[in-house]
Amino acid sequence: MEALRRRLKTTGAPPLHKAELSRLTIPNRIFAAVYASAVVTLLYHHAVTLASLLFHYSTTTKISSLFISTAFLVSDVVLAIVWTTTQSFRMRAIHRQEFPENINILLKSKECEEEEFPAIDVFVCTADPYKEPPMNVVNTALSVMAFDYPAGKVSVYISDDGGSALTLFAFMEAAKFAVHWLPFCRENDVVDRCPEAYFAAANLSSSSSSSDIERIKTMYESMKVRVENVVERGKVGDENITGEDERLAFNKWTDGFTRQDHPTVIQVILHNIKDKDTSGHAMPNLIYVAREKRRTSAHHFKAGALNALIRVSATLTNSPIILTLDCDTYSNDPQTPIRVLCYLLDPEIESQVGYIQFPQRFRGINKDDIYGCEHKRLYTINPLGMDGLLGPNYVGTGCFFRRRVFFGGPSNLVLPEMNELSPNTVINKPKCSEQALDLAHHVAGCNYEDRTQWGYKVGVRYGTTSEDIFTSYLVQCEGWKGIFCNPNKAAFYGDSPINLFDVLSQQKRWATGLLEILFCKYCPFTFGTKHIGILMSFTYGHNTLWPIWSIPITIYAFLPQLALLNGINVFPKVSEPWFILYLFLLFGAYGQDLLDFIIYGGTFQRWWNDQRMWMIRGLSCFLFGLVEHTVKSLGFSSMNFNVTSKIINTEQSKRYEKGVFEFGHHSPMFVTLIMVAIINLVALVWGIKLVLLGGKVVFEELFMQVIIAAFAVVNCMPIYGAMFFRCSDKGGVPTKTTLLSTFLVSCLFVITLVALKN
């Protein structure tokens, strides 16, 4: 890499990238100052009201009034804290642009040697062949093997944490197809180098090379059928094995081999020194890794798998750049590594740049994104704000790391326990000797990390199921910076869940992981403030506060409505000045969020669905994640990691495309949602009745409560449809869930009827 950097400098190459401050920066700062004044005023009003109630407690104060005032004070304090941390993303957002064409000129020149380009190790992680179909993983691997980059400089490692022979078989078949696929892409200037995506988009009738496409497509479909037949059968039979090397590999799966208890399996499927494609070019390295797992040893989920890959790859290739990908995140732009070099080859910034994060984008999201899976704020808007500070957080996939990042800060190298694992060790040719493979098996052992610094000072960090954000946070505290690379053409595409249960289960796991960060000794608000400054620490703090959203959302979803049903006014009258303050705070927050969403390519309907999902998350996965973490902290339960299913159900897929919510089966997380839907609908009907009968006075008193109930009802429309009008499909709310929710709402109403009268 150093030689290439010097060549660029001596040839007087034009700039490789540029950065510009967002035009919204100054308006955002002005609005933040105005809005902050309004927030402080509201909190002052709450404090004065509560103090007055406490002062007069012995004579006229009702316990219910104290409870309501305290609840709203707590709720608005939480909202104020979350809003304050949100502003850190708006203080210095920047937009970057790369110029990969300037590197491409050098790449195509005769003066440039292939050896000058830095090698890349690609880590593709999978864990379950039934929830994460091997063909999805194969497509991801093939797409990165076909990068517009010297093939001899690319090594693809497949981490199979399920230890499945089915996955290994799939990649042995994929390797046979790859020797045809890579030259086909090169010779036909194919842009979509994920085979599944390419064949879905290829127009055979209008293509001049339709016969070539038909030929390669037939090979792909044949490979796909063989793999899916083996997966459906659940084992690799003798008839599927074509050579002695393959037989030796599959002999490792003995009767005692299970996904939770098995030895290390490392199989070099393609080796770029000896394996060539059909045009005579070297193939990328393709290496299958199933680290050792034992029931008696902690494996640290995905973080442990990545650390095993860091060590195994160090013994075989030790490339200075590491790309991490989820099993369903395929490359959509073969020029992506060249974009990365636009930053890593810049002598002015390269010494501090630790990683380059690309935004997560998803294929298959329906038109209006009913589940908010695009996560525009998380994956696009917020990273732009972080990029103006120290860089975005790592999101678990689509990120290019310097290997050096995993071994301490820029000026503080933490040496591993073995010289062979050092990031400074240079391996000119991939090592696949018996001695190198023995060492690779050793460092992938389940007890190798005992009494070492792996996971704590070295590698991907342990201590939370949200290892991605935790790792980037700690490496930034050590002095590294990140870059957010957001090209117009998506660098990677992934899959998103298409049913509500999978969406909420995935984010409950995120919620518990974020709380583990918030309440550990590395809390962003304490440790982070000292090491990365207040603004940057607030960006990470904002993410860890996600589950805390459940507190104000739950209060506003239940308390005003229960008070309304009992004829109690809890908000200022329309004629009072405080009413204007509430309106400003409400429309200011929602208006700014909508503006951000639209500016960065969203639509109003997608924004509406996104804010609806925030309400749904706050009442389900965030709430349950908060409760689970609290219970776990008290020592009463343990966290289980569940892999999100990537299997596509045909009926679910059809309903999803139509924009219909999928419930399907009973879940405790659905109960709170149904309760909110019921209680807000009843409160709205009751409130309208009171207003119609009571005239202007009642209208002024209950207006805000009626509006809040109406807002919730509109957001709950998909829930009502699933409860009352979808008996004919399997995606409706189960009767059991509706009956249980109705019973709990009735109990809650009776309790508040007694409590609010006291």
CA distance 359 to 493: 9
CA distance 379 to 492: 13
Helix (H, G, I), strand (E, B) or coil at 611: helix
Q: Please tell me which residue in 161, 326, 369, 502 is annotated as part of the active site.
A: 161
Computed from CA positions of residues 318, 320, 326, 329, in that sequence, does the dihedral angle turn out positive or negative? negative
Going by their DSSP bridges, the two strands 330-331 and 481-484 should be labelled as: unpaired
Q: How far is CA 330 from CA 76, 355, 478, in A?
A: 42, 19, 31
Q: Compute φ and ψ for 647, nearest 5 degrees.
A: -75, 135
User: How does 219-251 read in b/e, with b if 16+ C-beta sit within 10 Å?
Assistant: bbeebbeebeebbeeeebeeebbeeeebeebbe
Q: Compute φ and ψ for 398, nearest 5 degrees.
A: 65, 35
Q: Please tell me which residue in 121, 148, 275, 468 is annotated as part of the active site.
A: 468
Q: Which residues contact 172 (CB under 8 A, 6 or more apart)?
A: 246, 249, 269
In this structure, the number of other CB atoms found within 10 A of the CB of residue 402 comes to 22
**Per-residue tokens: 39:** 């927030």
Instruction: Please answer whether residues 154 and 284 qualify as being in contact, where contact means their C-beta atoms are separated by less than 8 angstroms.
Output: yes
Instruction: Please answer whether residues 571 and 705 qualify as being in contact, where contact means their C-beta atoms are separated by less than 8 angstroms.
Output: yes
User: How does 299-338 read in b/e, with b if 16+ C-beta sit within 10 Å?
Assistant: bbbbbbbbbbbbbbbbbbbbbbbbbbbbbbbbbbbbbbbb
CA distance 316 to 309: 11
**E-strand spans in 398-523?**
399-402, 481-484, 492-493
CA distance 475 to 521: 15
Computed from CA positions of residues 484, 487, 491, 493, in that sequence, does the dihedral angle turn out positive or negative? positive
Q: Compute φ and ψ for 91, nearest 5 degrees.
A: -80, -30
Alpha carbon 689 to its chain's center: 45
Alpha carbon 477 to its chain's center: 21
DSSP states of 577-633 as a string? HHHHHHHHHHHHHHHHHHHHHHHTT--HHHHHHHHHHHHHHHHTHHHHHHHHHHHHH
Indicate the residue type of 556. Answer: Y
User: What radius of gyration, in Å, describes the C-alpha atoms of the chain?
Assistant: 28
Catalytic, 468? Answer yes
Catalytic, 161? Answer yes
Packed helices 735-755 and 63-86: angle between N→C axes, nearest 10 degrees: 120
Catalytic residue annotation: 161, 468
